[in-house]
Amino acid sequence: MLRIISVCFALAVIVQAQNLNEIISHSLESHNSLRSIEQKISSFNDALELSQNFQNPELSLSIGDIQFKEPLNRSIEPMQYTSLNIKQKIPYFGKRAANASLVNAQKDIVFSSLQEAKVALVKEIKITAYTIWELEQKLLIIDEYIKLAKSNIELSNAYGSSGESWHVEIASMQLSLLELNIKYSRMNSALKSLYAKLSYLGAKEIKSVQVDADVMQPKSLDTYAKDLLNNKSYAKQFKQVQEKNSLVKVKELDSNIDPFISVGYFYREAFEDYISVSVGAALPLYGSEDLNVQKARKEVLEAELNKTDVYEKLKVNLGEAHAELLSNYEVYLIISQRSIVELEHMIEVAESMLKNGKNLLSYTKLLEKKLSLDEQKFAAQAAYKRAEANIEALKGEIQ
């Protein structure tokens, strides 16, 4: 009856399990960390419009030639006036276009950050899901271990003696059973924490996840390396170089002075009014603009070196991930194609030779060995899938 209930529960969990790809799609659409970056990108539309605006005009009111003897009398002489002046700086030709290019380059960097964040989020979801799968498989194995431990205790009670060594053996088995229960409890607690993490990453409550844990033969390192140029972190560095080049153009144009025009209307109480017009520009006498250009060019070189360094690090990371992929693939093959096959044959032989308690105990020992190999196989599978997720992230894959 208990077995039937367990099977029904397992089937219910499978039905309710959420597909990994569905979790990823929902997270990419709804996760707050991504939406905040999207809002920042949209703000660049306002920044682009702002870059095309002129500086605010300056408006001033002046009262000229105030006589101390009669400060309120504004008709003593022609030099007395009240004026309203407006001054407007006009950006040098090409500056607004250069500013627009700089804003667009900055927007591209933030967009690259969004893509980078998506890759990181997907990678973390996959790694968490594969770790959950590993723990769930190990919990099933521990459950089988517990059943075997109880069976061994029952066999020892049935076929054992009442000597001191028998009591020690029974106590040792009971301690092993206790340790298994503790391990199960801790692993189950870790599983709950992982599901809480996956729910945060997936931007919705997740109680069960369905993953594809199939292991395929890895491709060569050179095959994976061809896609490194698609890495989002590298693409971001490339955009930063472009942004620094745009900044150089802005600083170079800053060396060209912006002219201004000022128009004033002069009111005179006892004399005719008149208008005054003046033009002018700032004088770049101290070389600040040239220094800013040099500084911006050095920042371009810095960005270029950072871009190269990021690519070199990516190659190292890919090599490490590929080595881990190969190692776990080999372990998986050894266990699944050789060790387990040989052990299953031994178990079949032991089953056919069951005659007494001693052979039965040997049989349960073989079952324990098989469970241990199963546990190692699942660990190798999960490690393989995590390494595969890391390689996919290095290649810039989002789904």
Is-contact 179 287, C-beta < 8 A?
A: no
- Cβ-based burial of 288 (10 A; exposed 0-12, middle 13-18, buried ≥19): exposed
Q: What angle do CA 16, 21, 23 make, to 5 degrees?
A: 60
Is-contact 59 85, C-beta < 8 A?
A: yes
Confidence of residue 375 (pLDDT cuts 50, 70, 90): confident
Within 10 angstroms of residue 350's Cβ, the number of other Cβ atoms is 17
What pLDDT score does 49 carry? 87
Confidence of residue 93 (pLDDT cuts 50, 70, 90): confident
Region 366-378: mean pLDDT is 78
Is-contact 134 379, C-beta < 8 A?
A: yes
Is-contact 325 387, C-beta < 8 A?
A: yes
Lowest mean pLDDT among 76-80, 135-139, 147-151, 165-169: 165-169
pLDDT: is 77 or 301 the higher one? 301
Which has the closest alpha carbon to 183: 150, 214, 154, 146? 146
Q: pLDDT at residue 25 above 50?
A: yes
What pLDDT score does 116 carry? 94
Please give the mean pLDDT across all residues of the chain: 85
Task: Please give the domain boundaries of the chain with CATH numbers for all domains.
Answer: 20-394 (1.20.1600.10)
- Sequence-ordered list of residues with C-beta below 8 angstroms from that of 273, at least 6 positions apart, any chain: 265, 266, 267
What pLDDT score does 106 carry? 92
Q: What residue spans of the chain are helical by DSSP H?
A: 2-16, 20-30, 32-51, 95-159, 164-202, 221-225, 232-254, 288-333, 340-352, 357-394
Is-contact 368 177, C-beta < 8 A?
A: no
Region 228-232: mean pLDDT is 93
3-state secondary structure of 398: coil
Is-contact 391 322, C-beta < 8 A?
A: yes
3-state DSSP of 26-46: HHHHHCHHHHHHHHHHHHHHH
β 18-19/209-210 pair status: parallel
Region 144-170: mean pLDDT is 68
Q: pLDDT at residue 5 above 50?
A: no
User: For residue 253, what are its two tokens?
Assistant: 């144009």
Look-up of token digits 């077995």: 3
Question: Global pTM?
Answer: 0.82
pLDDT in tens, 27-68: 999 999 999 999 999 999 888 888 888 889 999 999 988 888
What pLDDT score does 232 carry? 94
What secondary structure does DSSP assign to 115-164, as a single string?
HHHHHHHHHHHHHHHHHHHHHHHHHHHHHHHHHHHHHHHHHHHHH--SSH
Q: pLDDT at residue 199 above 90?
A: yes
Which has the closest alpha carbon to 48: 101, 95, 91, 92? 101
How much of the chain exceeds pLDDT 70, in percent?
A: 84
How much of the chain exceeds pLDDT 90, in percent?
A: 55
- Cβ-based burial of 61 (10 A; exposed 0-12, middle 13-18, buried ≥19): exposed
pLDDT: is 209 or 341 the higher one? 209
Give the whole-angstrom CA distance, residue 46 versus residue 132.
Answer: 44
User: For residue 240, what are its two tokens?
Assistant: 């930063």
Q: pLDDT at residue 371 above 90?
A: no
Region 290-316: mean pLDDT is 94
- Sequence-ordered list of residues with C-beta below 8 angstroms from that of 282, at least 6 positions apart, any chain: 257, 258
Which has the closest alpha carbon to 250: 299, 307, 286? 299
